[in-house]
Each structure stands twice: as C-alpha cells, then as structure tokens.
Amino acid sequence: MNNNSNNKNYVLISVLIGMLMSAIDVTIVILALPTITVDLKAPFIDTIWIILIYLLVIAALTTQFGKIGDMFGRGRIFNIGFIIFIIGSAMSGAAPNIDFLIFSRAIQGFGAVLLQANGNAIIADYFSQGERGRAFGITSMGWSIGAVLGIILGGTITTFIGWRYIFYINVPIGIIGSIMAMKYINDNKKTVTKIDIPGTIVLILVLSLISYGAIEIASIGVATLNSACIISGILLIIPFIFIEKTSKHPLMDMRVFKIRKLSLSLLASILQAIGYLSVLFILIMYLQGIRGFSPFDASLLLVPGYLISSLLSPKMGKLSDRIQPGTVAGVGILFMAVGLVVYILMGVSTPLYLVIVGSVITGFGGSMFWPSNTSAVMSNAPPKLYGSTSGLLRTLSNIGTLFSYVIAITAAATAVPRYVTFEVFLGIDKLNGNISAKFIVGIRSALIVAMIVLIVASISSFATSIKAKNINADVTKYK
C-alpha cells in the first residue's frame, strides 16, 4: 500500500466525488417526480419506486461489496462502481418508460453500492487514526453538498432543460472521479473471505417485502396481500439472524457487535437515519400541500441547513479527532431533535422563517453527527475488517434511510385521503383549509415519532464515551 502523503488529497477527492454523486441521486429525483410522472404517463405508486429501488439496492448489497473490496482490492472495486454508476445514469436519462427507468435506477444503485461500501475503508487505509475525523468530515460534506446540489439541480435542470439531464449530469462527474480513482487509489492487501449468498438473499427479501407492503398500504390501504408481505418480512429477520450467526463468512459479522463502542455507534447510525432522513419528505409535503409552494421553491427554504452542514462537517470531524467522537455525535443528534421541535410547532399559517431556523439547527447537528459517528465506527473496527465495517455502516444507514422514506409516505397517507397524499407529494395539488388541519396533525405525529427515535440515537452515541472494562477485548481476535 502506497500511503504517500502527496496522494492523500487526491484519494480524498476521489472518494468525495463518489459520495457526492451517491448523495445527489437520492434528492435530485424528488423534485423531478411531477415532470417524470406526466412525461412517462406513470401511476403515482410506480413513480415512488424511482426513489425506493435506488435505496433498496444500496441497503441490501452495501455490506457484501465492502467484503468484495477486501477480497479483490478496494481501489479496483471503487473504480468499477464509478463505471457502473455512469452506465446506470445514462440509461436512466434515456428511459422510454417508467419500468425501464426503475430498472436503470437499480443499476445506478448498484454502482453507488460499490462506491459507498469502499469509500470509508479507503479513507481508513490512507489516513491515520488522528487524521480520519477531518477526512470523514470532508466526505460527510460530500453528502451534504450532494443533498444541496440534488435539491437545487433537480428543480433547475427539470424546469429549464428537462428531467433526463438530472441523470446525464452524472456522466461527466463520474468520468472525472473514475480517472482520479484509477490514478491515485491503490488496492489494499487482499483478505481471503467469501460472500454470504443465503444471508444476502434473505436480507433482500426482508427489505423488499416490508417496503412493498408498506407502500401498497399507503397506496390502496390495508389488504391481505400487503399485510402478509410486511409480516413475512418481519418474520424473516429470525432466520436471517440464525444464518448470520452460523455462517463462516456472514453478511453481518455478529461477532463485531460484541465490540461495544462499535455496536453502539452502528445502532446510532441506523436510528439517526430512521428518525431524520424522512424529514425532507415531510417538509416538502408541508410546503407544497399546505403552503402552496412549488417543489423547487419549497426546496430553497431547506438549502441553508444543508449549506451549514457541508461547511462545518470538516471542522466538526477535526473536533472529533481531539475529543470523544461519540460525545460530538450525541450532541449533534440532540441538535437535530431540537430542529424537529421547531418543525412540530409549524401550523397552517406559521411564519416561514421557522422552516429556515429548523433547517439551520438540524444542519448544524448533522455536521457534528455524520463525521464523528463515522470516525467512531472506523476507529473501533478491526483493521482486517475495514471494508466489511465500512459496508456495514453504509448498509445500516441505508436501511434506515429506506425505512425512513417508507414510514414518511405511509404516515402521510393516514392523515388525508391517499390520492391526495400522492398529489401533494408530487406537487400536483394543494390541500384546502379543512384537510390542511388534518394533514398538519399527521405531519406532527410523524415528526414526534422521529424526534423520539433521535433521542434514543443520541443516548446510544453518548454511551460510546462511557469507559468499560475490556471494552476492546474482542477486537484483538481480528488483528
């Protein structure tokens, strides 16, 4: 491994570009959904899957492809991720119908898997423990900047150029990232391991069944089939745990969860994702359906928070190099919870500056949490399992993101008639005064649940800073 310090910045930029593209394509699609729905003559429920299929692929496969990076070289796999992402983006832009677009988004998601699963591990390879907080802060900034760019570009490109170019824009960015990755990222020392095919299949079934059942409930209401899907998905968690405990090469190495600090940081990651990442959905529905903003204008009110997060993430990451990263992460989550309190106070005619205030507070919290939690995870991971742990972190975060969106859509659909929910979400209609009051109640309920989840996540982060005997005893097994 060539850890020449002159190459570190180029390695960091390559990983940053990969994170940037992955983040952009989570949010850029949201604002283009109304135009895509009309242009491709697609049903509302199918349009939602443009977002969900991308998240589903990432959530189900990220851990395994962290392992593949361990086996065949993280630099090589990371670069293949760029190539596949470029191909999926080009296919998405050229999609003739909704089914082809959903399929293309799955391919794009697979490319994002290879990028996400290996990005943090590459940082851990090239940067010492005292440098990682700052480096993770910069890659976290990529997520925040990507979210901002996704929001702005989604509205601007769709409005003035056309929705297909929200995907085509990834092609030149991906080519630049690919060239840099090929030139500067060397492969790690290979680790002999195998892919957990049974575990991967069961995890895909768990996530797919629960997601499909929940979205169908949001679309048509409770029925035998969608209820059976959710129940089956939940029950499959039991054989999944059994498979992982008995497998010689598990998708999720349960022994790693015996490392106390690591398991608590991973728990904080998935809870934070579940509690926070649906807030964008909820706020856009509030601003469109109740306040009458267009999707693009609504998104502009949320930009300040993302900018705060992107600007401060490197500094907060550096802070976590000096003090306990779990403490920094825990405080960050509490700031996010306070931001949700601001959103809970919003009503039908609340001054809009409260949206900006809430956005700034949550953005500040995000700048503290994401780099610090990533640093806590990777610093407590056994070096031989950097790739697997990086993949596991992204997997849990993406599972949380997936369920966060699913819960947001389902919760909104219980507040008002389902067809109204989808029209509001797609920016097609505005609620009348009577229904607006009911919709506010539904939004507040969803935000209260999210706030409670965030508080539990903060407790998990703070707990990593509590000293305990033999806290890293299990780490030595992997060295």
pLDDT in tens, 107-116: 999 999 899 8
The rounded distance, in Å, linking the Cα atoms of 439 and 414 is 9
Phi/psi region, residue 193 (left: phi>0; alpha: psi -120 to 50; beta: rest), is beta
Supply the CATH number for residue 440's domain. Answer: 1.20.1250.20
What is the reported pLDDT for 167?
Answer: 94
Average pLDDT, the chain: 81
CA 101 to centroid of chain Cα atoms: 20
The rounded distance, in Å, linking the Cα atoms of 119 and 15 is 6
Residues 142 and 208 in one domain: no
Identify which of 328, 360, 319 has the alpha carbon closest to the alpha carbon of residue 343.
360
Which residues neighbour 95 within 8 Å (Cβ) at sequence distance 6 or greater?
40, 101, 104, 164
Residues 142 and 229 in one domain: no
Task: Among 248, 274, 292, identify where a domain stops.
Answer: 248
Residues 144 and 207 in one domain: no
Residues 212 and 274 in one domain: no
Find tokens 């054989």 and name the residue.
239
Residues 300 and 263 in one domain: yes
What tokens does 405 get? Answer: 């969106």
Q: Decide: 170 and 18 in contact? Cβ < 8 Å.
A: no
The rounded distance, in Å, linking the Cα atoms of 294 and 63 is 38
What tokens does 52 get? Answer: 């969900």
Q: How many domains does the chain have?
A: 2
Residues 211 and 334 in one domain: no
Under DSSP, the state recorded for 81 is H
* Alpha-carbon distance values, 405 to 12, 51, 400 (Å): 30, 9, 9
Q: How confident is the model at residue 365 (pLDDT cuts 50, 70, 90)?
A: very high
Identify which of 51, 88, 54 has the alpha carbon closest to the alpha carbon of residue 170.
88
Residues 402 and 461 in one domain: yes
What tokens does 285 get? Answer: 């529905």
Residues 324 and 234 in one domain: no
Which residues neighbour 94 within 8 Å (Cβ) at sequence distance 6 or greater?
164
pLDDT in tens, 300-325: 787 788 788 878 877 887 887 788 88
pLDDT in tens, 56-92: 888 888 777 777 877 888 888 999 999 999 999 999 9
Least confident of 37-41, 131-135, 192-196, 421-425: 421-425
The letter for the amino acid at 329 is A
Model confidence, pTM: 0.79
Residue 347 φ then ψ, to 5°: -125, -160
Task: Among 182, 213, 248, identify where a domain stops.
Answer: 248
Least confident of 103-107, 157-161, 234-238, 335-339: 157-161
What tokens does 122 get? Answer: 């590459």
The rounded distance, in Å, linking the Cα atoms of 327 and 368 is 10
Which residues neighbour 374 within 8 Å (Cβ) at sequence distance 6 or greater?
120, 136, 139, 140, 393
The rounded distance, in Å, linking the Cα atoms of 134 and 314 is 5
The rounded distance, in Å, linking the Cα atoms of 424 and 406 is 16
What tokens does 202 get? Answer: 């069961």
For 366, other C-beta atoms within 10 Å of its C-beta total 29
> Which domain range does residue 208 map to?
196-248
Q: Output b/e per residue, 351-362; b: 16+ Cβ within 10 A.
A: eeeebbbbbbbb
Biggest CA–CA distance in the chain, Å, is: 65
Residues 378 and 292 in one domain: yes
Which residues neighbour 318 within 8 Å (Cβ) at sequence distance 6 or greater?
133, 134, 137
What is the reported pLDDT for 472?
Answer: 45
The 3-state DSSP class for residue 477 equals helix
What is the reported pLDDT for 259?
Answer: 84
Is residue 417 packed enough to be buried (19+ CB in 10 Å), middle (13-18) or exposed (0-12)?
exposed
Residues 314 and 357 in one domain: yes
The letter for the amino acid at 60 is A
Q: Decide: 178 and 79 in contact? Cβ < 8 Å.
A: yes
Residues 154 and 170 in one domain: yes
Residues 152 and 29 in one domain: yes
pLDDT above 50 (res 188): yes
Find tokens 């693009």 and name the residue.
296
The rounded distance, in Å, linking the Cα atoms of 59 and 203 is 9
Q: How confident is the model at residue 470 (pLDDT cuts 50, 70, 90)?
A: very low
pLDDT in tens, 237-296: 999 989 988 887 777 777 677 788 888 999 999 999 888 877 877 787 788 767 877 767
Which residues neighbour 350 within 8 Å (Cβ) at sequence distance 6 or greater?
none
Find tokens 């009051």 and name the residue.
437
State the Cα angle at 116 between 338 and 377, rounded to 5°: 60
